[in-house]
Amino acid sequence: MSAKLARREHRTAWLFLTPLVVVMLMVAVWPLGRTFFFSFTDAYLDDPAVYGMVGISNFIEVINDPAWWSAVRNTLTFAVISVAIETLLGLGIALLLNEAIPGRGLLRAAILVPWAIPVVVATKIWEWMLNDQFGVFNRILISLGLIDHGIAWTASSSLIMGVVIFIDVWMTTPFMVLLILAGLQTIPGEMMEAAEVDGIPAWKRFWSITLPLLKPAIGVAVLFRSLDAIRMFDLAYVLAASNQNVMTVSIYARDRLISFQELGVGSAASTWVFLLVALVAIILIGALRLDRSAGE
Amino acid sequence: MASIALSSVTKTYGTHTVIRGVDLDIADGEFVVFVGPSGCGKSTLLRIVAGLVPASSGQVLIDGEEVTDVPASKRGVAFVFQSYALYPHMSVERNIGFALETMRLGKDAVRRKVETVARMLKVDHLLARRPRELSGGQRQRVAIGRALVREPEIFLFDEPLSNLDSDLRMEMRIEIARLHEDIKTTMVYVTHDQAEAMTLADRIVVLNQGSIEQVGTPLELYQSPVNRFVAGFIGSPRMNFADLAAGSGTNGFALPAGFLVDGGQPTSVGVRPEALSIVAAGAGRMDGILERVEDLGHEHFAYIRLSDETIWVVRVAGRPPAERRNQLVGLSFADADIFVFDGEGKRIAHRSSSALPEGVPAEGRLLHER
């Protein structure tokens, strides 16, 4: 290719990229940069134009706040448990759906329903179903004779984390199923037949062939879900607002920023959230070797 | 070592019948090749023997024992796939030895077996590699090694060489033949490649639309096909066919006077391209226009138009034909090389009236044209 032709191709490439770059600057780089900037100031939300530079004291204030560390603990507990359950459940359901069972197409469509419902709507529905007096859930348990009177699932401080995890599992397992099913379908049928003819027992076929070949798909699914779970806001906020027992780091940042109007400290908390998500992403990508194992 | 017997095996998918009542006996140590056009059911039949596809009805017996309901993993057969089906995340060594891992042999015993097999197939220098680092031929050797290491009673091959280029195919063909001579295990081999079928098989099974057309040694199929399908399928280029004209008109093709057939009504004839030779116009048994010549170097295929819808191919070995294109040429052949078929395509034996000498002007001698 001549140098002139190469230059023209480069120009065309930039022409196509420019709109995207502009949008990214506007919706990602600019707000992130503003947040980062404000985290070094003592600005308040009522008048952000008035501020003084305070160095890293906002960051220090956040990590000296026990409520922040409680939020970190909640967030990590929620992320680890819900993603683990979703992965196992997703893998199981995907394996079932991958078998040639009658009505498979219908099942595949049906399983996507929870994923299609907006988080706020699903959370509100579950909140009502779990209501201690009128909820259908307690009604069933009472009529089965398992309990005498309704349990306040969403009010009890010891149960609320379990409820949040349960609703999240209900909502996002379909996503896991879908990604793992896609991974399963890339495994050639003849390879499994070869193992079958060779007399490899079913558990070993799963453990030594299916699982290693599924690793990239499961890795991507776990990465997506983990990052989603760590910045989780809507589910816990709709269900319990600022309840300390399920306050996530995102809710903590929002409270500082909006409820307390502390633009500086809130921005610092948001930056910590950003760094936390980035750290988890780097660890997961490294641990799962997603950058290298993809497509092999 | 084991024999295989199929009795009235059928396979239907919904309303679609793929295998129609196949009966077949394969002797212990025999090398049998299934051939047929695509969609004839040859791969399905092989999978039924392996247990990968359940038969809809009929029985499969291995070594005299009924295995119709025995799963593939318990049949003691090995299967080599066209796609090789190697495990991409395992080294060559683990690929070959994988089936032994659950057999409680001990690590050293497994390693020794894998090394023996790898040496035999000349992949011992590749043991540490992954399948994606191997060439097509090497992958197929590993796949065969994986089958071999279990010392199966029966080897099943499903078009194992179809993904290889022609040189490698020839080389692997010879190796598979040698392998069979060495281990003398029963082998069933599916291919659409005639050369593989003819060179490897003790017996060839010709399948068409789910039924067996003929079973026989390669030479039997070539020399005495039972019907027009087998005659056309075995041999390359394929046999030339011509329909005989109804009645004894002067148009179209007709058997020569004095040509005796053993019962049946001859309706078509065939002559193999290698049985034909080109002579001067009028000097052979029929005339036609030389339309084109394909040069393959060591042999040449001449396409000769005998009538509006009939073109016959002549295989000319050695030097290319001297005749020019679009010239009228004559075709000559012996009576013994004529295959006669009845209305249903069945071959009818004939006693050629060989008293008539070669080279006599064509008039009334055999197939007449125009």
pLDDT exceeds 90 at position B261? no
**Looking at residue A146, what is its pLDDT?**
83
In this structure, what DSSP letter does residue B107 have? H
Do B218 and B283 belong to one domain? no
> Comparing B245 with A189, which gets the higher pLDDT?
A189
Q: Does A162 touch chain B (CB under 8 A)?
A: no
Instruction: Locate B220 and state its tokens.
Output: 């039997």
pLDDT tens digits for B163-213? Answer: 888 888 999 999 999 999 999 999 999 999 888 999 999 999 999 999 999
- Mind giving me the DSSP string for A93-121? HHHHHHS--TTHHHHHHHTTHHHHS-HHH
CB contact under 8 A, B102 and A200: yes
Nearest of B270, B222, B269 to residue B244 by alpha carbon: B269
In this prediction the pTM is 0.80
In chain B, the residue whose alpha carbon lies closest to the alpha carbon of A209 is B87
**Looking at the predicted complex, does its ipTM rise above 0.85?**
no
In this complex, do B72 and A197 lie within 8 Å of one another by their Cβ atoms? Answer: yes
Q: Is residue B276 part of a domain?
A: yes
Same domain? B211 vs B338: no
pLDDT of residue A145: 83
User: Same structural domain for residues B67 and B164?
Assistant: yes
- Return the pLDDT at B360: 39
- Position A290 scores a pLDDT of 64
How many CB atoms lie under 10 A from the CB of residue B284? 23
Q: Where are the alpha helices (DSSP H) in chain B?
A: 42-50, 92-97, 107-120, 136-148, 166-183, 194-200, 218-223, 228-233
C-alpha torsion sign, points B348, B352, B353, B358: positive
A101: burial class by Cβ within 10 Å (0-12, 13-18, 19+)?
exposed
Q: How many CA atoms lie within 13 A of A295 on its CB side?
A: 2
Beta-bridge mates of residue A108: none
Provide the strand spans (E) within B253-307: 260-261, 266-271, 277-280, 286-295, 299-305
Report how many domains make up chain B. Answer: 2
* Chain A closest-CA separation from residue B72 CA (Å): 5
CA separation for the pair B34, B46 (Å, rounded): 8
Residues B269, B225: Cα–Cα separation, whole Å: 13
Q: Does A204 lie at the interface with B, CB-CB under 8 angstroms?
A: yes
Q: Does a cis peptide bond (omega within 30 degrees of 0) precede residue B237?
A: yes
- Domain with residue B147: its CATH number is 3.40.50.300
Residue B359 pLDDT > 60, yes or no? no
Check which CATH number belongs to the domain holding B248 and give it.
2.40.50.140
pLDDT at B363: 41
Q: Give yes or no for residue B78 having a pLDDT over 90.
A: yes
Work out the minimum CA distance from B131 to partner chain A, whole angstroms.
11
Q: What 3-state class would DSSP assign to B193?
A: coil
A200 to B73: CB separation less than 8 angstroms, yes or no: yes
Q: Which of B225, B4, B8, B190 lies closest to B82, judged by CA? A: B190
B22 with B145, same domain: the answer is: yes
Q: How far apart are CA B209 and CA B18, in angstroms?
A: 7
Query: Mutation test of the interface with chain A: which of B74, B79, B80, choosing the one with the most A Cβ atoms within 10 A?
Result: B79
The values of phi and psi at residue A44, to 5°, are -115, 155
- What is the fold of A66-293? MetI-like fold (1.10.3720)
The nearest CA of chain B is from the CA of A204 a distance in Å of: 8
* Residue range of the domain that includes B184: 4-228
Q: Do residues A222 and A230 make contact, with C-beta atoms less than 8 angstroms apart?
A: no
Over the stretch B110-158, which tens digit does the pLDDT of each residue have? 999 999 999 989 999 999 999 999 998 899 999 999 999 999 989 999 9
Contact yes or no for A184/A206 (Cβ under 8 A): no
Q: Among A282-286, B32-36, B86-90, B361-365, whose mean pLDDT is lowest?
A: B361-365
Q: Is A191 on the interface with B (CB under 8 A)?
A: yes
Structure tokens at B205: 């099974």
pLDDT band for position B1 (cuts 50, 70, 90): low
Domain contains B346: yes
Out of B79, B101, B132, closest to residue A197 by CB? B79
Query: Which residues from B are below 8 Å from A197, CB to CB?
Result: 50-52, 72-73, 75, 77-79
Contact of A197 with chain B, judged by CB distance below 8 Å, is answered with yes
The values of phi and psi at residue B299, to 5°, are -150, 165
Q: Is the pLDDT of residue B246 over 70?
A: no
**Range with lowest mean pLDDT among A50-59, B138-147, B217-226:** A50-59
Q: Tell the residue number behind the tokens 């070094």, with chain if given.
A: A40
The amino acid present at B124, given as its one-letter code, is D
Q: Which residues contact B351 (CB under 8 A, 6 or more apart)?
A: B260, B262
Last residue of a domain, one of B174, B197, B228: B228
Q: Inter-chain contact A199–B74, Cβ cutoff 8 Å?
A: yes
Q: Span A41-67, mean pLDDT?
A: 89
d(CA B74, CA B67): 9
Is B289 inside a domain boundary?
A: yes
Q: Is B59 inside any structural domain?
A: yes
Query: How many Cβ atoms sit within 10 Å of the Cβ of residue A87?
Result: 18
Q: A62 phi and psi, to 5 degrees?
A: -65, -45
Chain A residues whose beta carbon lies within 8 Å of the beta carbon of residue B74: 199
Residues B152 and B188 placed together within one structural domain of the fold: yes
Instruction: Tell me what the mean pLDDT of segment B310-322 comes to.
Output: 88
B85 and B60 assigned to the same domain: yes
The closest CB to that of B102, out of A188, A204, A213, belongs to A204
pLDDT of residue A167: 94
Same domain, B18 and B52: yes
In a domain, B205, yes or no: yes
Q: Rounded mean pLDDT of chain B?
A: 88
Candidates A186, A198, A204, A205: best to mutate against B (most CBs of B within 10 A) is A198
B220 and B294 assigned to the same domain: no
d(CA B200, CA B94): 30
Contacts of B70 in chain A (CB under 8 A): none
How many contacts does A have with B, using Cβ atoms within 8 A? Answer: 62
The helix (run of H) or strand (run of E) holding residue A215 is helix A211-230
Where in chain A are the domains?
66-293
3-state secondary structure of B70: coil
Dist. CA B293–CA B283, nearest whole Å: 21
Cross-chain CB nearest to A194 (options B76, B79, B102):
B79
Same-domain check for residues B158 and B267: no
What mean pLDDT is predicted for residues A48-69? 90
Residue B287 structure tokens: 């005339």
| Coil/strand/helix, residue B69 | coil
Residues B130 and B251 in one domain: no
Q: Indicate if B135 and B247 belong to the same structural domain.
A: no
What was the pLDDT predicted at B370? Answer: 39
Tens of pLDDT, residue by residue over A93-152, are 999 888 877 888 888 888 888 888 999 999 999 989 988 888 888 888 888 888 888 788
User: Among B184, B210, B228, which residue terminates a domain?
Assistant: B228
Order of strands, edge to edge, in the sheet holding B65-66?
B16-26, B4-13, B57-62, B65-66
The string of pLDDT tens digits covering residues A213-263 is: 999 899 999 999 999 999 899 999 998 887 888 899 999 999 999 999 999
Helix (H/G/I), strand (E/B), else coil: B21: strand
Say whether both B188 and B264 belong to one domain.
Answer: no
Tokens of A182: 């896609």
Nearest-angstrom CA–CA distance, B63 and A253: 75
